[in-house]
C-alpha cells in the first residue's frame, strides 16, 4: 500500500536520521497532496506495525465539540433587556493533537468527528508536542522552492508579492517562483561585499596619507566631493544629490533615483532570500551583509575619480559587478549604474550616459591629478584638518561628514552580528596602514589595549587590540613615562606587605574541550626584607623590558626620559597612587595579561 | 492501533474565498498619527473638550426624545453650573469617576522609592467611588441608585436627569447615553436575505479569522498549537470538512500580543531558566521570537492576507493609537502586498465580492449569485487595552468584559478612559476614538476568555434587526482558540487547538486563564 518512495523516505528519516516525519514534511518530500501524505503515513504505520522497527504515531483529531452557549455565564444576567440573540450558541470545532494512547479519550469529547488521521510518525513516542515543529523548517524550504498549492496549501488569489519588486516575474500565487527566479542572481552579493570591504575605507578617519591627498580635491573641485560623500551612504539623500550633480543627468536621473531608492530598499530584502533555505538564524547574519553591495559600486568610483593612478585597486573589483549584474560598473556615475543594474528596460539609455560620465570623470580626474601634483605634504595635512574641523566649509563637505556619522549610527544599529563583522575588518585595515598622521595633523601612535568580555558561557575572554591615538608632538614624550609609572605601582597587600608580581601558568579546558595554557601574573605579598630584593629585581626587569620596548618603538631619544621616569617612579610611588585612584587597578589589569604583552 | 479512514484528496483543489479591503471613509477614521500631528505638547484637556462637543448633540437628541414627553417637563440646562436647585432638569457632561484607588500621579511622586511599589491593582473599584459629571464650566457629584446601575467609567458623555439636592449633589432619576451610532455600511437586503444565506449557501460564506496573543517568545511557548494553527489556516490540517472551512477564511486578523512581554524581561537570565528535559521546544525555532513570528507569518501570508495589530505586550509604543509595526520587522513576510500592518484600534472595511465568489465557486451552488450579493462589512479591531482598562473601573459580577465592550458602542466611544488611566496620544482637535458609526463587527483582542454578543440598538425604531457582532478574542497561547466570523451572517465559530497526552507549552498558563474565566464570568 505504501509507495516505495514513501517507504524509503520514512525508513530513512525515522530509523536512520531519527527524525519526526509529519504529513506536511512527507507531502513536500514526495510532492503529493497533504491528504495523500496522511494516508501514506497510515499505510506505513499499518505495514510496519508488526515488524521489529515499529514507529509511533501522533494523531490529529478534528471535529465539533459541544457548542458554547453564550447565554449564562458569558453574558451579564442584568442585561436581559438587550436582545434575544444572546442565547445563540457558537459552533465550536476542535483540533486536537494526541498520542496513540490518548486517542480514544480524545475522540470521546467530540460530538461529531470530522477526521482522524496520523499527524506524524516518530521513532519513539512523542512526549513534547513542540517536536512537531521540527520538520517545519524543511517544509518552509520546500514551499519556497516548489508550488505549495499542489501540496494542498490553499492560497488566496489576493496573496501578492509587493510591487517594489520587478514585474518581469509573474505575479499571482507565484510567490515561490519569484523567489526561485531571483536565486541564481543572489549569490553575487555575497561575493561582492568581501571585495568591497577590503577596499572600502571605513578607517578613513584614521587617515592614510593617501586619503589626505583625496582631501585636497575635496576642497578644490566642487563637483567631486558630493558623489563621494553622499553617494556612499544614504540612499535617501541620493535625490538631492542628483539635482546638484549636473544638469545633463538631472532630468533623466531624477525619476530613476526615486525608483532606485525603492529598489534598493527591496534589494536588501532580496538579498536575504537565499538565506530562507538555510537556518533562520543565518538570516540575521546575512542581512547586514546584504546592505553592502548597494554601497560597493559607488566606492569604486570614489576611489577612482580623484586619483586615477590608483586604478589597480579598481581593476580588481570592477569586473565583479559587471558579470554579476549587467554592464554598468564601468561607469563612473553610480546612479546610472544602479538604475541599470536593477531594471532591464533602461539598457538603451545606459551607453550614452556612460559616455558622458566618462568624459566628465576624466576631466575631473585630470584636474584632481593636477591639483594633487601641486600640493606638497604640509598642505595636504592642513587641508584635511580644515575639511574635518572647520564648521563653515562648503555645504558638501559638512554633508559628507553627516553622512559618515549616519553610517556610524547605522552600523551600530545593525546589531551584534554586524558589529562583530565590522570590527575585525576595521582592525585589519588599520594594521595595514603605516599611517601615523591623524586628521588633525598630529602624529598617531599605536596603543595596545585589552578588553575583557564575558562570553555566552560565562567565561571571561580577553582580547588585545591596538588602536591609534593621536598625540601632540609635546605630549608624546611625557605621556609615555606616565604610563610606565602607573604600571610600576607596587600594590600593597592587605596585610601591609608589598606585593610582588609572579608569573604563573594555568591550563584551562574551554567549552569545546580544547585546553588552553595561559600565562598570567598575579601579585603575591612579600615580606619586608624580600621586598627590597624584589624592588631591585623589578627595576632590573623593567629596565630590560623597557629597552626592548624602546627598540620596538620609534628609536627617537626616548631613553633619557625613561631614565628620568625610573628615578621618579620610585620616589613618586606614593604620589601617583594617591593622585590617581585608578592607577593600581589599571596596573593590575594590565599585569593580568602578562608583562610582555602589555608593554609592547 | 486504530484503523483510520483514509482521507480523500479533493478532486479539484480548493479555492480560497476572497474578500477585498476597501479604503476607509471619513466616518471610519484612521488611527495613524501623521507627522503633522506627532506632537506631544498639547494638553489632554483638548480631548475631553472635543469629545464633549462631538457627542453632545447625539446625546442631546436622544435625551430629548426620551424625556421630552415627561409630565414634569424637565428643564434642559446647558451647563453643569447652571443647574437650578430643587427643579427637575437634565444636563449633559463628561463622567469623571473619583476613585480613591485609582493610580494617582501625585502619589507616585510622593512614594518612598526605597520601598518597592505595590503591584498594580486589578480593580480600582471600591465603595467610596463617586461619580462626577463635568463640563467646561464645572462639575457636580451624581448620586442615586440609577448612577451605579449605569456602570459608568471616566470619560463617557452622558445626559443625567434629576434634581440638585440641598447638599449640592445631583440626585439622578434617569440617564441617557449616546446610543448606537448608525452603521457604517449599507444594510444588505434586510434581514431576510441573511436567513436565506444560513440555510442554503453557508458553505460558501466568507469568513474572517481572528487571533490574539500568540505570545511567541514566552517561556512556555505554545509552539505546537501555533504550528497546528498555521496548518489549519493554510488548509492543510484536518479532513475535507475542515479544509473546506479553512478555504472560506478570506483573511486573518492578528489582534495584538503576538510577541510575549516576558521574553524581554528574561533575556538576561536565559541560562538560569531550567531547560526542559531532552530537546526542548526552544530548539525547534530560532530563539529570537521575532524571527519565529515572522517565519509563521510568512507561512500564513503566503496563503492568505494577514492584518497584524500591535498589542499591549508587543514591542510598540504604549500610547494608544498604537502605530503599525514597521514592516521591515517581519523580514520576508513584509514582501507580500497582502500583509497589512495596522494601527492598534483599526477600522477595516472588507468587501466580499459577489462576482468573484460566484466565479470561484464555478456556481457550485446554483443560488450562489442571488444569495451572495456583494457585502461590505466594517470591522473595528482593538487589541483589548481599552476594555481591560474599563474592566478595572467596574465591579465584575454585574459587568463583564462583553458588556463593557457593548457599552463602548452605546457610549459611542472606544476608549473613554483614555487620557485618565489609559495612555493616549494628546490629540488637539479630534478624538478618533469617538465612534461616529457603528461597525458591523467589533473585535477585541487580548481577552482572557472568548465571548461574543450581538448588540442591537435599544430604541428599535426603524433600525431593528441590525446588530453589531462583538467578539472577544482570547489569547491564543492560553486558550488555543481561533475565532472565525462569518462576514455575511455575522455568525461566530470557534476552533480550539489543543494538545492532549503530550506536554506542550501554553497550557501551563492555564492558571491565569482560569483567572480570566473568573473575570469573564464574575
Nearest-CA residue of chain B relative to A165? B335
Whole-angstrom distance, CA of residue A284 vs CA of residue A334: 28
Of A85, A153, A161, the CB nearest to B235: A153
Q: Do B14 and A129 touch (CB under 8 A)?
A: no
Among A467-476, A504-513, B363-372, the range with the most confident prediction by mean pLDDT is: A504-513
Nearest C-alpha neighbor of B338 from the set A157, A594, A72, A587: A157
CA distance B204 to A269: 37
Query: pLDDT value at position B484?
Result: 92
pLDDT at A321: 40
Q: What is the mean pLDDT of chain B?
A: 79
CB-based contact B501 A101, cutoff 8 Å: yes
**For domain B20-39+181-263+286-382+433-520, which architecture applies?**
4-Layer Sandwich (3.60)
- Nearest-by-CA chain A residue for B520: A74
pLDDT band at A136 (very low <50, low <70, confident <90, very high): confident
- Range list of β-strands (E), A104-214: 110-122
Cβ within 8 Å, pair B7-A266: no
Spacing of C-alpha B73 from chain mean position: 40
The reply to whether residue A95 touches residue B236, judged by beta carbons under 8 angstroms, is no
Per-residue pLDDT tens for B264-312? Answer: 444 444 444 444 444 344 444 456 788 888 888 888 888 889 999 998 8
Asked if the model's pLDDT at residue A67 lies above 60, the reply is yes
CA distance B344 to chain A (A): 23
- The verdict on a CB contact (< 8 Å) between B224 and A94 is no
Q: What is the CATH number of domain B45-176?
A: 2.40.50.430
Distance set, CA B5 to CA A30, A40, A120, A310 (Å): 21, 12, 16, 75
SS3 call for A548: helix
Q: Which of B407, B409, B410, B405 is nearest to B520 (CA)?
A: B405
Contact list in B for residue A153 (CB cut-off 8 A) is: 234-236, 302-303
- Per the CB < 8 A criterion, the answer to whether B480 and B498 are in contact is yes
Question: For position B38, what pLDDT does the model report?
Answer: 82
Please indicate whether, in this complex, the C-beta atoms of A82 and B406 are within 8 angstroms of each other. yes
Assess contact for B137 and B79: CB atoms under 8 A: yes
User: pLDDT at position A509, please?
Assistant: 65
A60 → closest Cβ in B237, B332, B456 = B237
Mean pLDDT of A323-340: 41
Residue A130 to chain B, least CA–CA distance (Å): 5
**Could you give the CA distance from residue B323 to residue A89 in angstroms, rounded to a whole number?**
35
Q: Suggest the residue from B146, B202, B207, B224 to mutate for an interface test with chain A (most A CBs closer than 10 A).
A: B224
Partner-chain residue, chosen from A102, A134, A148, that has the shortest CB–CB distance to B284: A134
- Poorest-pLDDT segment among A178-192, A535-549, B165-179, B422-436: A178-192
Looking at the predicted structure, is the pLDDT value of residue A195 above 50? no
Nearest-CA residue of chain B relative to A134?
B284
Q: Nearest 5°: phi and psi at B229?
A: -60, -45
Nearest CA-CA partner of B48 in B126, B156, B122: B156
Q: What share of chain B has pLDDT > 70, as a percent?
A: 81
- All three cell numbers of A111, joined, read 460530538
CB–CB of B223 and A126 under 8 A? no
Q: Is A79's CB within 8 Å of B20's CB?
A: no
Instruction: Spell out which residues of chain B touch residue A131, defining contact as CB-CB under 8 Å.
Output: 279, 281, 284
pTM metric for this prediction: 0.58
Number of A to B CB contacts under 8 A, please give it: 300
Distance from CA of B241 to the nearest CA of A (A): 6
Give the HSE-up count for residue B94: Cα atoms under 13 Å, Cβ half-sphere: 26
Taking CB atoms and an 8 Å limit, are B238 and A62 in contact across chains? yes
Choose among A35, A58, A164: nearest Cβ to B9: A35
Q: Give B488→chain A minimum CA distance, Å.
A: 16
- ipTM for the assembly: 0.79
Q: Closest CB to B493: pick one of A86, A90, A279.
A: A90
All residues of chain A having their beta carbon less than 8 Å from the beta carbon of residue B499 are 96-98, 129
Preferred mutation among B298, B356, B453, B514 to probe A, highest tally of A CBs within 10 A: B453
CA angle A105, A110, A111 (to 5 degrees): 140
Please write the tens of the pLDDT for every residue from B324-347.
988 888 888 888 888 889 898 999
Nearest CA in chain B to A173: B302
Grid cell digits, residue B460:
428599535
Which among B313, B196, B337 is positioned nearest to B265, based on CA atoms?
A: B313
Q: Taking CB atoms and an 8 Å limit, are A272 and B500 in contact across chains?
A: no
Name the residue ranges covered by the structural domains of chain B.
Answer: 20-39+181-263+286-382+433-520, 45-176
> Taking CA atoms, what residue in B is nearest to A60?
B238
How close B8 gets to chain A, by Cα (Å)? 7
Of A377 and A79, more confident:
A377
Nearest-CB residue to B303 (from A117, A118, A159)? A159
**Chain A interface disruption, residue of B15, B203, B236, most A CBs within 10 A:** B236
Q: Which of B237, B247, B337 sits opposite A162 (nearest CB)?
A: B337
Closest residue in B to A458 (Cα) is B271
| Closest Cα in chain A, distance from residue B148 (Å) | 13
Q: Residue A536: which pLDDT band, with cuts at 50, 70 and 90? A: low
Number of Cβ atoms within 10 Å of the Cβ of B500: 19
Q: CA quadruple B437, B442, B447, B452: dihedral positive or negative?
A: positive
pLDDT tops 90 at residue B443: yes
Are the beta carbons of A39 and B521 separated by less than 8 Å?
A: no
The answer to whether B331 contacts A35, with C-beta atoms less than 8 Å apart, is no
CB B259, CB B265: distance < 8 Å: no
Give contacts of B7 with chain A, Cβ < 8 Å. Answer: 35, 38-39, 115, 117
Q: Does residue B29 have a pLDDT over 70?
A: yes
Per-residue model confidence as pLDDT tens digits over A560-581? 444 444 444 444 444 444 444 4
In angstroms, what separates the C-alpha of A542 from chain B's closest C-alpha? 43
For the ranges A267-276, A392-401, B157-166, B505-514, the maximum mean pLDDT occurs at B157-166
Mean pLDDT of B132-148: 88
Is the CB of residue A348 less than 8 Å from the CB of residue A252?
A: no
- Band of pLDDT at residue B470, cut at 50, 70 and 90: very high
As a whole-number percent, the residues of chain B with pLDDT over 90 amount to 11
Give the separation between CA B250 and CA B205, rounded to whole angstroms: 10
Least confident piece of the model among A300-314, A434-448, B43-57? A300-314
Q: Do A269 and B497 touch (CB under 8 A)?
A: no
CB–CB contact A152 B236 (8 Å):
yes
More confident residue, A341 or B220: B220
Better pLDDT: B150 or A49: B150
A336: Cβ contacts below 8 Å, ≥ 6 apart:
A249, A253, A328, A349, A350, A353, A354, A357
CB pair distance less than 8 Å for A159 and B496: no
Residue B288: all three cell numbers together: 529570537
**Chain B nearest C-alpha distance from A394 (Å):** 31
- Choose from A67-71, A131-135, A193-197, B445-449 the range with maximum mean pLDDT: B445-449
- Smallest CA–CA distance, residue B248 to chain A, in Å, is 10
Contact at 8 Å (CB) between A216 and A372? yes
* Residue A351: per-residue pLDDT: 44
Neighboring chain B residues of A47 at a CB cutoff of 8 Å: none
Note whether A292 and A189 are within 8 A (CB): yes
How buried is residue B252: exposed, middle or buried, by Cβ count under 10 Å (0-12/13-18/19+)? buried
- Give me chain A's average pLDDT, please: 56
CB contacts, 8 Å: A156 with chain B: 16, 18, 250-251, 303-305, 338
Does B119 have pLDDT greater than 50? yes
Q: Write the residue in A49, A143, A163 that is nearest to B337 by C-beta.
A: A163
Q: Is B432 a residue whose pLDDT tops 90? A: no
Give B-chain residues touching A37 at CB under 8 angstroms: none
pLDDT of B133 > 50? The answer is yes
Question: How far from each other are the two terminal CA atoms of chain B, in whole angstroms?
Answer: 44
Amino acid at each position: 500500500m505504501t509507495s516505495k518512495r514513501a517507504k524509503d523516505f520514512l525508513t530513512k528519516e525515522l530509523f536512520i536520521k531519527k527524525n519526526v516525519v509529519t504529513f506536511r514534511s512527507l507531502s513536500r518530500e514526495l510532492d503529493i497532496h497533504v491528504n495523500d501524505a496522511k494516508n501514506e503515513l497510515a499505510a506505513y504505520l499499518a505495514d510496519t506495525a508488526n515488524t521489529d522497527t515499529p514507529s509511533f504515531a501522533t494523531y490529529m483529531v478534528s471535529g465539533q465539540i459541544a457548542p458554547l452557549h453564550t447565554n449564562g455565564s458569558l453574558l451579564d444576567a442584568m442585561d436581559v433587556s438587550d436582545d434575544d440573540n444572546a442565547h445563540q450558541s457558537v459552533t465550536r470545532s476542535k483540533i486536537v493533537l494526541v498520542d496513540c494512547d490518548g486517542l480514544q479519550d480524545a475522540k470521546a469529547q467530540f460530538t461529531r468527528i470530522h477526521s482522524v488521521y496520523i499527524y506524524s510518525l516518530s521513532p519513539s513516542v512523542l512526549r513534547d508536542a513542540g517536536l512537531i515543529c521540527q520538520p517545519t523548517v524543511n517544509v518552509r524550504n520546500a514551499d519556497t522552492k516548489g508550488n505549495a498549492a499542489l501540496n494542498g496549501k490553499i492560497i488566496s488569489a489576493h496573496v501578492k508579492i509587493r510591487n517594489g519588486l520587478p514585474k518581469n516575474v509573474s505575479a499571482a500565487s507565484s510567490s515561490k517562483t519569484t523567489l526561485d527566479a531571483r536565486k541564481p542572481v543572489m549569490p553575487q552579493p555575497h561575493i561582492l561585499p568581501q571585495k568591497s570591504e577590503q577596499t572600502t575605507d571605513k578607517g578613513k578617519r584614521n587617515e592614510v596619507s593617501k586619503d589626505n591627498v583625496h582631501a585636497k580635491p575635496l576642497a578644490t573641485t566642487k563637483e567631486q566631493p558630493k558623489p563621494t560623500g553622499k553617494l556612499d551612504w544614504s540612499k535617501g539623500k541620493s535625490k538631492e544629490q542628483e539635482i546638484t550633480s549636473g544638469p545633463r543627468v538631472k532630468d533623466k536621473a531624477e525619476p530613476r533615483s526615486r525608483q532606485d531608492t525603492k529598489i534598493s530598499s527591496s534589494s536588501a530584502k532580496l538579498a536575504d532570500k537565499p538565506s530562507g533555505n538555510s537556518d533562520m538564524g543565518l538570516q540575521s547574519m546575512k542581512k547586514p551583509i546584504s546592505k553592502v553591495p548597494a554601497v560597493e559600486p559607488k566606492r569604486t568610483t570614489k576611489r577612482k575619480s580623484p586619483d586615477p593612478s590608483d586604478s589597480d585597486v579598481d581593476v580588481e573589483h570592477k569586473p565583479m559587478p559587471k558579470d554579476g549584474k549587467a554592464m554598468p560598473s564601468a561607469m563612473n556615475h553610480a546612479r546610472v549604474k544602479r538604475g541599470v543594474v536593477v531594471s532591464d528596460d533602461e539598457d538603451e539609455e545606459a551607453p550614452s550616459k556612460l559616455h558622458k560620465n566618462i568624459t566628465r570623470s576624466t576631466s575631473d580626474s585630470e584636474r584632481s591629478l593636477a591639483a594633487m601634483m601641486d600640493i606638497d605634504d604640509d598642505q595636504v595635512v592642513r587641508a584635511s584638518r580644515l575639511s574635518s574641523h572647520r564648521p563653515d566649509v562648503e555645504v558638501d563637505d559638512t554633508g559628507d561628514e553627516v553622512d559618515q556619522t549616519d553610517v556610524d549610527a547605522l552600523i551600530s544599529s545593525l546589531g551584534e552580528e554586524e558589529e562583530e563583522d565590522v570590527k575585525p575588518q576595521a582592525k585589519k585595515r588599520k594594521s595595514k596602514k603605516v599611517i601615523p598622521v591623524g586628521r588633525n595633523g598630529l602624529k598617531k601612535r599605536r596603543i595596545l589595549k585589552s578588553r575583557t568580555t564575558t562570553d555566552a558561557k560565562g567565561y571571561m575572554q580577553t582580547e588585545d587590540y591596538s588602536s591609534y591615538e593621536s598625540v601632540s608632538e609635546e605630549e608624546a614624550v611625557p605621556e609615555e613615562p606616565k604610563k610606565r609609572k602607573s604600571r610600576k605601582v607596587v600594590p600593597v597587600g592587605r596585610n601591609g606587605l608589598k606585593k610582588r608580581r609572579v608569573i604563573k601558568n594555568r591550563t584551562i579546558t574551554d567549552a569545546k574541550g580544547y585546553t588552553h595554557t595561559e600565562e598570567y601574573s598575579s601579585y603575591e605579598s612579600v615580606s619586608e626584607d624580600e621586598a627590597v630584593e624584589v624592588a631591585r629585581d623589578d627595576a632590573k626587569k623593567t629596565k630590560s623590558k623597557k629597552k626592548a620596548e624602546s627598540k620596538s618603538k620609534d628609536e627617537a631619544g626616548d631613553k633619557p626620559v625613561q631614565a628620568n621616569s625610573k628615578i621618579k617612579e620610585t620616589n613618586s610611588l606614593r604620589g601617583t597612587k594617591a593622585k590617581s585612584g585608578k592607577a593600581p587597578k589599571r596596573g593590575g589589569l594590565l599585569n593580568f595579561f602578562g608583562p610582555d604583552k602589555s608593554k609592547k | 492501533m486504530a484503523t483510520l479512514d483514509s482521507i480523500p484528496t479533493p478532486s479539484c483543489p480548493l479555492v480560497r474565498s476572497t474578500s477585498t479591503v476597501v479604503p476607509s471613509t471619513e466616518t471610519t477614521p484612521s488611527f495613524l498619527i501623521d507627522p503633522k500631528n506627532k506632537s506631544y505638547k498639547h494638553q489632554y484637556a483638548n480631548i475631553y473638550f472635543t469629545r464633549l462637543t462631538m457627542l453632545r448633540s447625539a446625546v442631546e437628541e436622544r435625551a430629548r426624545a426620551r424625556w421630552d414627553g415627561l409630565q414634569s417637563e424637565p428643564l434642559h440646562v446647558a451647563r453643569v453650573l447652571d443647574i437650578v436647585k430643587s427643579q427637575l432638569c437634565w444636563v449633559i457632561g463628561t463622567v469623571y469617576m473619583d476613585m480613591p484607588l485609582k493610580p494617582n500621579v501625585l502619589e507616585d511622586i510622593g512614594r518612598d522609592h526605597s520601598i518597592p511599589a505595590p503591584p498594580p491593582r486589578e480593580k480600582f473599584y471600591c465603595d467610596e467611588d463617586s461619580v462626577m459629571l463635568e463640563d467646561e464650566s464645572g462639575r457636580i457629584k451624581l448620586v442615586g441608585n440609577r448612577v451605579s446601575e449605569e456602570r459608568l467609567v471616566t470619560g463617557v458623555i452622558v445626559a443625567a436627569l434629576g434634581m440638585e439636592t440641598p447638599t449640592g449633589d445631583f440626585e439622578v432619576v434617569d440617564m441617557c447615553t449616546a446610543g448606537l451610532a448608525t452603521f457604517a455600511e449599507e444594510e444588505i437586503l434586510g434581514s431576510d436575505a441573511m436567513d436565506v444565506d444560513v440555510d442554503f449557501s453557508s458553505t460558501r460564506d466568507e469568513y474572517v479569522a481572528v487571533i490574539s496573543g500568540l505570545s511567541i517568545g514566552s517561556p512556555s511557548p505554545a509552539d505546537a498549537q501555533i504550528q497546528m494553527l498555521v496548518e489549519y489556516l493554510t488548509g492543510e490540517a484536518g479532513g475535507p470538512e475542515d479544509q473546506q472551512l479553512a478555504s472560506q477564511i478570506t483573511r486573518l486578523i492578528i489582534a495584538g500580543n503576538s510577541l510575549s512581554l516576558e521574553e524581554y524581561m528574561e533575556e538576561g537570565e536565559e541560562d538560569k531558566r531550567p531547560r526542559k528535559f531532552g530537546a526542548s521546544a526552544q530548539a525547534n525555532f530560532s530563539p529570537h521570537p521575532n524571527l519565529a513570528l515572522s517565519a509563521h507569518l510568512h507561512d500564513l501570508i503566503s496563503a492568505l492576507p494577514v492584518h497584524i495589530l500591535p498589542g499591549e505586550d508587543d514591542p510598540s509604543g504604549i500610547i494608544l493609537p498604537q502605530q503599525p509595526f514597521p514592516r521591515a520587522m517581519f523580514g520576508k513576510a513584509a514582501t507580500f502586498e497582502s500583509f497589512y500592518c495596522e494601527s492598534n484600534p483599526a477600522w477595516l472595511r472588507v468587501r466580499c465580492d459577489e462576482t468573484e465568489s460566484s466565479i470561484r465557486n464555478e456556481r457550485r451552488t446554483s443560488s450562489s449569485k442571488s444569495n451572495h450579493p456583494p457585502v461590505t462589512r466594517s470591522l473595528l479591531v482593538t487589541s483589548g487595552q481599552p476594555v481591560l482598562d474599563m474592566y478595572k473601573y467596574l465591579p465584575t459580577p454585574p459587568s463583564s468584559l462583553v458588556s463593557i465592550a457593548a457599552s463602548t458602542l452605546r457610549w459611542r466611544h472606544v476608549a473613554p478612559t483614555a487620557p485618565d488611566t489609559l495612555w493616549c496620544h494628546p490629540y488637539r482637535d479630534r478624538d478618533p476614538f469617538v465612534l461616529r458609526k457603528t461597525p458591523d463587527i467589533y473585535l477585541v483582542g487580548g481577552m482572557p476568555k472568548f465571548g461574543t454578543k450581538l448588540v442591537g440598538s435599544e430604541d428599535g425604531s426603524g433600525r431593528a434587526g441590525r446588530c453589531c457582532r462583538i467578539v472577544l478574542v482570547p489569547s491564543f497561547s492560553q486558550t488555543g482558540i481561533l475565532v472565525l466570523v462569518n462576514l455575511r451572517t455575522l455568525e461566530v465559530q470557534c476552533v480550539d487547538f489543543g494538545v492532549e497526552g503530550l506536554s506542550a507549552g501554553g497550557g501551563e498558563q492555564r492558571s491565569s486563564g482560569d483567572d480570566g474565566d473568573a473575570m469573564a464570568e464574575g
